[in-house]
Structure 1
Amino acid sequence: MTSALPTTADTLVAQSWGFVTDRALQTAAELGIPDLVAAGPLSVDALAEATDTRPDALRRLLRPLVGIGFLRLGDDGTYGRTEESVLLESDHPTTLRPWFQLMYRVTYRMLDDPLSTLRTGRPSFEERFGNTYFAHMAQHPEDGAVFHAAMASFTRRTARAVATSYDFSTAGSIVDVGGGLGTLVADILTLHPEPTGTVFDLPDLAEPAQAALDSAGLNGRATVASGDFFAAVPTGRTHLLSWILHDWDDERALRVLRRCRAAQDESHGRLLIVEAVLPERPSADMTTALDLVMLFGLGGRERTEAQYVALLKEAGFHHLRTLPLEAPGMHIIEAKPC
C-alpha cells in the first residue's frame, strides 16, 4: 500500500500545529535541557530531577524535539546533544538560549490576544502584562536580564557582519545609541584600531557594559554614557542605531533620529542604522514575522527601504546607501546630515 500524498489541507493543518513544537523548544531552553546534556546523555529521570519536573511529562515534552532532530534519543533511552542543541547551551560563544527564553517568558505570551491590537491599535503586550514593554523589563529584573542577554545574543550574530561590511577606519568617535552591553562596539573596535567608541544606554546598563568593554581589552578606547535618547545623545562623528528604530512608531523614531542629527558634525557626520528591512512585496521571512512582534509587543514596526529613506529625510539626513549583511534580512542603512 502506498501512502497518500499530502494535500493542501494537510499542509495547513501541520502549519497550525507548528506552535506546539516551538513552545516545547522554548520550554527546553528555559529549563536548560541543552546545558544538562552537554556533558553526556542523560535519562529522563535524571533530567526531570534536575529540572524539578515529572519524568512522564518531561518525556512527552522532549518527544517532538527528538522528532525535529534537536535532541538525540539513544537506544538506552537517554537524551543527548546535537549540533542544534549545542547552540542553546549557555556557554556557547553565540548562544541562542536567552533568545528562546525571551520567547518563552514574554514574546509568546504577548501574542495571546492579537485582536485587541487590531481593534484598538495598542500593543497587546500592555493588555497582557499591564505595562509597556520596556517598563515591564525595568520592573521585572529577571525578565529584563533575559531581554538584554537575548539582545546581546542577537547582536553577536550580526556584529561581525557589521564590522566587516563597513569601513570604520574613518568613523572617528562612534556613539552606539541604545548600545546595551556594548557587543557591537566591541566587535567594531576589535577589528578596526582607528576609531573610539561610546556605548549610550540607560543607567542600569552602565556597569555591566563597561565591564564587558574592559574584558574585551578596550579600556581607554571605549566608554559608557547614560541617558535618555529621546532627550539627547552624546556628540560623535558616527552614530549607530542597531535594532533601535524598529521598537518605535514613526513619531518617536523621528525624535531619536533628530537627537542624533543634533549631535553630529555638519560636514563629516555619518549615521548607520542596522535593522531588518522589509521587502517591498510581502514574503514569508523573518522580517515579516518580526514586524508582527513589533506591532503586538511595542507598537513599533519594521520598515521598507523607502520608509527609512522618508524618515531620514524628515529628520535632516540624506540617504547614501543600503548594504545587505550576511545575516538574514539585516542591512546597514548609511546616511549623512543634509
Structure 2
Amino acid sequence: MSEGEQEEHDHFSVVYNLIMAAWGSQAVRAIAALSVAEHLDSGPLSAQDIAQRELSDPDMTHRVMRAGVALGLLTYDADRGTFSPTPLLEVLHENSPTSLKYYAQAAIGPAFWLPAVLLPETVAAGSNHTVQALGSNVFEYLGKNPAEAQMFSAAMAELSAPVIREAASVIAVGTARTVLDVGGAHGAFVSELVQRNPQLAGSVLELPHVATTVEDQARQRGLEARITGIAGDFFDAVPAADIYLLKHVLHDWDDASCRSILSNIRSSMRPGARLFVVEMLVTGKGASLGAALMDMAMLFATTGQERDISQFNTLLTASGLRLTQSVPIRSPYYVMEAEAL
C-alpha cells in the first residue's frame, strides 16, 4: 500500500469510527444499565454470571461486554472466560466520585436519542423536531415519564458534581445570608454552597414535582434546617435572595426565554444582590469538543445553545444586569458573576 493509499485508509477508518461511535455509546449505556462495574467489585466474572444476576440474555450480555473490551472499559481472560474492569469502567460505578453511570443511560436514552435522529431535518428546517420525535418538548416528555425523569435528574447531578465543587470554591458570598438556586433540580449546587458557608440559608426554585424532592435531599446531607424547596416557574416569578445561582439553565433556552428568566431575577433582586451563572463557554478559539457536542444536543432537543461571553453579556444587559467577572473553572465551564445595572 502506497503512502497516499495508507493515508486515505487512515482517514476512512477515522470517519468510520466516528460514525460507529453512536453504537458504541449505546453499548456503554447497556453496560451501565447492567451494573457491570458494581458486579465486578467482587472480582472477575463471566458474562453468564452477570446475566444471571441481571436476568439478561447470556449470549447478548457477552456480546455487549465484548464491545466493552474494544471500547477500553473491560479486559477479557479467554482461558477463564471472565471479564475484569479497567480504570475507565470505574466512571460507570454508581459509587465513584466521578460517576457517569446515570448520565450514560439518560444522555442517549429516548428523550434525546429520538430527537437526535432528526438532526438533519432540524438543520434544514431551522427548528428542532422534538415534538415530532417525542410528542412534546423534552421537559414535557420527562414530566410524563417519571422513570426517565428520575434517571435524567440523577444524570444531571452526576454531570454537575465536579463542576459544582469548583464553582462553589470561586464564589465569594461576602455578607450574603440567603441563596436561591433557580431551576436547581434537587439542590446539589445550593447544598455545596451552604455547606461551605455556615451563615447561608438556601432554597431551590423548581417545578412542583421536583421541588418536593429538595428537602429530602437536604435531609440526606444534614441540611434540612437550612434548605427548602419552592414550587414555582422561573418564567412567572423568582423569589428574592442575596445570591442567585443559575447553572445549566440558560443553555436550554432561546434568547427570548433567557431574557425572561434573567429579567425575573433582576426584578426580585435586593440591593447588593448578585447572580452567578455557570455554563459552558464557546471561546474565541471556537468550541471545545465537549461544548460542541453539548451544543448539538441543545440544537436537536431544545431551543437553546452553548454561547460565547459576548452573547451572555448581551442577554444580561438586555435584562437589566451587568457582567462583572467571568472565572474559568473545569473546562469548558465558567462562572459568570452579574449585578443589577
| Pairwise TM-score range, normalised by the shorter structure | over 0.9
SS class of match (1:87):
helix
* Aligned residue among 156, 181, 189 for 2:186: 181
2:137 — aligned with what?
132
Match of 1:120 among 107, 120, 125: 125
Amino acid at match of 1:8: H
Aligned partner of 1:83 in structure 2 is 87
Displacement after TM superposition at 1:150 (Å) = 0.8
Q: Within 1, Cα distance between the matches of 2:246 and 2:45?
A: 44
Structure 1 residues not aligned, in runs of 5+: none
State the shift of 1:50 in Å: 2.9
Establish whether residue 193 from structure 1 lines up as the match of residue 222 from structure 2.
no
The answer to whether 1:100 aligns with 2:104 is: yes
Bigger shift: 21-30 or 82-91?
Answer: 82-91
Paired with 1:284 and 1:124, the residues of 2 have a C-alpha distance of 25
**Backbone CA RMSD of aligned residues:** 2.0
Output aligned runs, 1:288-327, within 5 Å.
288-325=292-329, 327=330
Q: 1:171 to 1:162 in 2, by over 3 A?
A: farther
Structure 1 segment 1-338 matched on structure 2, within 5 A:
7-74=10-77, 75-106=79-110, 107-265=112-270, 267-325=271-329, 327-338=330-341
Q: How many residues align?
A: 336
Distance apart, 1:15 and its partner CA: 2.3
Please state how far the C-alpha of 1:2 moved relative to its aligned partner: 12
Q: Is the 8 A contact 1:249 1:299 kept in 2?
A: yes
TM-score (norm 1): 0.93
* CA–CA separation in structure 2 for the residues paired with 1:82 and 1:19: 21
> SS of the counterpart of 1:279?
coil
Q: Distance in 2 between matches of 1:237 and 1:294?
A: 30
Q: C-alpha offsets along residues 217-243 of structure 1, whole Å, 9 cap, x if unaligned?
A: 223222221101100011011111010
**Aligned partner of 2:18: which letter?**
Q
Quote how far apart the aligned CAs of 1:47 are: 1.8
Whole-angstrom CA distance in 1 between matches of 2:31 and 2:288: 26
Could you say what secondary structure the match of 2:176 adopts? coil
Q: 1 CA distance for matches of 2:260 and 2:204?
A: 19
Q: Is the 8 A contact 1:30 1:104 kept in 2?
A: no
Q: Distance in 2 between matches of 1:36 and 1:130?
A: 37
* Matched residue type, 2:99: T
Residues 73-114 of structure 1: per-residue CA shift (max 9 Å, x gap): 234111122322122122334421110110232323321121
The one-letter code matched in structure 1 to 2:244 is H
Deviations 1:154-189 (A, max 9, x none): 221211101112212433311100011110111111
SS across alignment from 2:245:
strand
Letter aligned with residue 163 of structure 1: A
Partners of 1:199 and 1:283 lie apart in 2 by 31
Note the C-alpha offset of 1:56: 2.5
Question: Which one is further off, 306-315 or 81-90?
Answer: 81-90
Stretches of structure 2 lacking an aligned partner (at least 5 in a row): none
Whether the 8 Å contact between 2:282 and 2:308 is mirrored in structure 1 is: yes
Deviates more, 1:145-154 or 1:119-128: 119-128
